[in-house]
Structure 1
Amino acid sequence: MKLPRFGVEEWLNVHEKDALYDIAGVSISALTLEELFELTHQDLSTFFQELSRKKLDYGWIEGSPEFKREVCGLYKTIQPEQILQTNGATGANMLALYALIEPQDHVISVYPAYQQLYDIPKSLGAEVDLWQIREENNWLPDLDDLRRLIRPNTKMICINNAHNPTGAIMDEAYLQELVAIAESCGAYILSDEVYKSFSNQREAPAIADLYDKGISVDSLSKAYSLPGIRVGWVASNKEVADVLRDYRDYTMICAGVFDDILAAFALKNRRVIMERNQKIVSENLRILNHWLAEEPRAHAILPDHVSTSLIKLDVPLPIEDFCKQLLSDYGVLLVPGNRFDLEGYVRLGYCGDKDILKTGLSKLSQCLRRFN
């Protein structure tokens, strides 16, 4: 099993601690424990008192009943035995691919996207076809392209919905057509669903609710602003869940007592977290839109209230070289698009601290003016 370097993570691991203005991250402004408990009007000291009496054993191996109950509330058809807790969505993707993909399998993956979705199947010996996103299609891949790629023996189709890095959303009508294509050959659909639209008009249903062989992956890291507890999950039909259980013993034992308790608490109070985050996304998206309108060297098809965006920059040098200059001279961190095989673009996360966003965009414009 040989894997290439993980382009985005390698870039962030090397550079994110050097940034004064980090507008590369695509989680919505991370919560502190204090902020979380103020938001939910709960007493933090009481929580810690109860936690101090908990035995720090392995806890609930698949996730506590409370955690599973709250996760089920995110779906229409999923029962607790169909939920497995994982080490973030990264762990959930790894588990599903490791358990279901074998040498010589045929896999189709949206490309570019989160790198796990195509490089892990390749490393397991699968033949992987790349289903290209298209800028002229608002960054969605073309379903007719998928029809040309599909084979009678296609084992799995991997998608990222909403998409990383563009924020493009496959809506219900699109997903229903995708399901029909998958059904034609009995393929699984693995859907990484960590990014959410905070638009009142757009909602992408979970693939596990639309398709019996749909596998939904999610976590608390992006839309719920708690990347630090590293809790995710995979939702699937009962047969797949049983297969994943066997492989899960090889990938992790448990998420940890503290992480599970906090994850269940956050999901129980998800309404107020989502209201808080909807406000952040809406306000910061207005800032980004205004900046784009004023900046002649930047262009974008912006997502519908999704926390990641892909920006085209008009600069006369390779985009990674530009991003290195931007970081060293102005302290601003972006993800260069070549890390997604999208030369000339950058991934910009606009849902962090509002003042950092404003200053980061201002300094980005200063850097761009060098080329006027």
Structure 2
Amino acid sequence: MKLPSFGVEEWLNTWEKKAKYDISQSTISALTLQELIGLDGTTVAEFFGKYAAEKLNYGWIEGSPEFKKLVAQFYDKVDTTGILQANGATGANLLVMYALLEPGDEVISIRPSYQQLYDIPKSFGATVNFVDLVEEDRWQIDLGKLAKLVSNKTKMICLNSANNPTGTLLQKSVLEQIVQIARKVNAYVLVDEVYRPFTTKNDFPSIVDVYERGIATNSLSKTYSLPGLRIGWTASSKKLANVFRKCRDYTLICGGVLNDALAVHALKNRQKILARNHQILAENLKLLTKWSEQEPRVSFVMPYYVPTAFIRLDIPQDDRSFCTDLLQKTGVLLVPGSAFGVPQHARLGYCCSKKTLLKGLSLLSEYLQENF
């Protein structure tokens, strides 16, 4: 198996701990352990006191019944038999592709997207064809091109909605058209839904609620501000979940007793987390929008209830060296667009603390004005 360097992860592994003003991340400002446990008035001592005499064995292999019940509530057409706990959304994606793809299969992926969704299939010996999202069309998918690429050899269509890094979404009408295309050739549709938006509208349903061969992956990392728990899941039909179970035994075993307990606590209090995060997102997006209106060298497609913006940089310097120089001279961290295969752009994660965002944007503007 041969894998290229994972662009965004390699960049963050190198630079994120050196940043003073990190406005690169795609997670909404992470909760502390005390904040998480205290959502319902419980103290840290009370919470962990319940587990002080608990043996740290494997626990529930697929996730506790309570975890599976809470996760199943996110979907209309999936019950607990279709939910499997995973090591974050990355573990969930790997599990699905490991279970279903074989050498010689054809896969279609959008681009830009999360690199795992196209380079893992390549490493398994699949042929990957791309549908490029079009910036001039607000980073939307070209359904005509997708229809032309799909053939009887197409095994899977890999999507990311909301999209990382652009922050754009597949609306219900678009998703239904993708399903029609996939159904003609009996292809699976895998959608990484880890950035499901902060909206109560039913315009953005899960793939598992519109397609019988749809597979959704998700986690508590982004929308729920808990990347450190490393708890995600797959949601699918019971038939597909049975396929994943066998491969899961080779790759994960379990998520851990304490991680499962913390995940259950988060899911029980999800409305409080969502309310907190919606406020952070709404307030910070206003700040970002106001800043961008006054910054002539930056433009972006407005994200929709999603914590990342993919900014276009109107500069003569390449994006990677720009982001490196910016960090070293100001302490401000962005992710260069070339890490996603789209040069002269950068991922800007605006859902950090308000203080960090304001200072980071101010220093970014000063750097642009002084150097270009």
Q: TM-score, normalised by structure 1?
A: 0.98
**CA deviation after TM superposition for structure 1 residue 200, in Å:** 5.0
**CA deviation after TM superposition for structure 1 residue 137, in Å:** 1.7
Contact (CA 8 Å) 2:34, 2:43: kept in 1 or not? no
Contact (CA 8 Å) 1:30, 1:227: kept in 2 or not? yes
- CA shift digits 1:319-353 (9 cap, x unpaired): 00000010000000000000111111000000011
- CA shift digits 1:40-96 (9 cap, x unpaired): 322332111102122100000000001001001111111111111000000000000
2: CA distance, partners of 1:56 / 1:22: 35
Contact (CA 8 Å) 1:157, 1:188: kept in 2 or not? yes
- 1:310 aligns to what SS in structure 2? strand
Alpha-carbon RMSD across the aligned residues, in angstroms, is: 1.0
Contact (CA 8 Å) 1:337, 1:344: kept in 2 or not? yes
Q: How does 1:218-297 map to 2 (within 5 A)?
A: 218-297=218-297
2:103 is the counterpart of 1:103: yes
- CA shift digits 1:288-328 (9 cap, x unpaired): 00100111111111111201110011111110000001000
Contact (CA 8 Å) 1:308, 1:350: kept in 2 or not? yes
**CA deviation after TM superposition for structure 1 residue 199, in Å:** 3.9
2:372 is the counterpart of 1:352: no
Amino acid at match of 1:116: Q
Match of 2:14? 14
1: CA distance, partners of 2:193 / 2:355: 28
Gapped regions of structure 1 (runs ≥ 5): none
Q: How does 1:121-132 map to 2 (within 5 A)?
A: 121-132=121-132
2:71 is the counterpart of 1:74: no
Note closer, same or farther for the CA distance 1:27–1:202 as it changes in structure 2 (3 Å cut).
farther
Contact (CA 8 Å) 2:95, 2:251: kept in 1 or not? yes
1: CA distance, partners of 2:144 / 2:202: 23
Task: Using the TM superposition, name which of 63-72 and 197-206 deviates more.
Answer: 197-206
**CA deviation after TM superposition for structure 1 residue 119, in Å:** 0.4
Match of 1:196? 196
Q: How does 1:1-372 map to 2 (within 5 A)?
A: 1-201=1-201, 203-372=203-372
- 2:129 aligns to what SS in structure 1? strand
Amino acid at match of 1:47: F
**CA deviation after TM superposition for structure 1 residue 197, in Å:** 1.6
2: CA distance, partners of 1:346 / 1:90: 22
2: CA distance, partners of 1:127 / 1:217: 22
- CA shift digits 1:154-196 (9 cap, x unpaired): 1000000000000100011111111111001000000000002
2: CA distance, partners of 1:179 / 1:41: 44
Contact (CA 8 Å) 1:101, 1:126: kept in 2 or not? yes
- CA shift digits 1:12-56 (9 cap, x unpaired): 000001000000111001001111233332233211110212210
2: CA distance, partners of 1:339 / 1:33: 31
1: CA distance, partners of 2:318 / 2:149: 32
**CA deviation after TM superposition for structure 1 residue 120, in Å:** 0.6
1: CA distance, partners of 2:198 / 2:81: 29
Gapped regions of structure 2 (runs ≥ 5): none
Aligned pair count? 372
**CA deviation after TM superposition for structure 1 residue 203, in Å:** 4.3
2: CA distance, partners of 1:190 / 1:345: 26
Contact (CA 8 Å) 1:21, 1:360: kept in 2 or not? yes
**CA deviation after TM superposition for structure 1 residue 209, in Å:** 1.2
- 1:97 aligns to what SS in structure 2? helix
2: CA distance, partners of 1:88 / 1:203: 25
Contact (CA 8 Å) 1:197, 1:203: kept in 2 or not? no
Task: Using the TM superposition, name which of 193-202 and 205-214 deviates more.
Answer: 193-202
- 1:304 aligns to what SS in structure 2? coil
Amino acid at match of 1:81: T
2: CA distance, partners of 1:150 / 1:365: 44
Contact (CA 8 Å) 2:297, 2:314: kept in 1 or not? yes
2: CA distance, partners of 1:329 / 1:171: 41
1: CA distance, partners of 2:83 / 2:67: 9
- 1:27 aligns to what SS in structure 2? coil
2: CA distance, partners of 1:11 / 1:210: 36
2: CA distance, partners of 1:256 / 1:369: 50
